[in-house]
Amino acid sequence: MADTEQTDETTGTPRDTGAERKAARLARQIRAFADAHGGAEGQVAYIGERGARIVLVGEEGAWGDLVAPSYAIAEEAVKNAGITVHQEFDGEFAAKVRTGPYEWKRMAGIQVGGPRND
């Protein structure tokens, strides 16, 4: 074991401090979003090798997302942020999202042959 490697004091196993730092950074970003939008709820979705997507919806309907390098880090981040986490992005949770003209224009352009979104 390297001199700089940290171990979990309860189990004696090596800790992944990089993952802990990433989860803590994501948790700070989630809390900042929640503070700016009167609270927030979220959902974590596995997106393959890329990791996991954390979708956030503020109390007033604003939404955003973050990408974590792994599902475990995403779960740790939302847990540390203290937000409500939904298993699915449907029903009442999805109905809270409020989209504006930008999103409608962008989605319609993609769907009906509008300009490319490069």
Q: What is the pLDDT of residue 106?
A: 72
Under DSSP, the state recorded for 48 is G
Give the mean model confidence (pLDDT) for residues 62-67.
Answer: 94
Classify 61 in phi/psi space as left (phi over 0), alpha (psi -120 to 50) or beta: left
pLDDT of 85 strictly over 50: yes
The model's confidence at residue 103, banded by pLDDT at 50, 70 and 90, is: confident
pLDDT of 11 strictly over 80: no
Higher pLDDT, 10 or 35: 35
Contacts of residue 90, defined as CB under 8 A and 6 or more positions apart, other chains included, come to none
pLDDT of 17 strictly over 80: yes
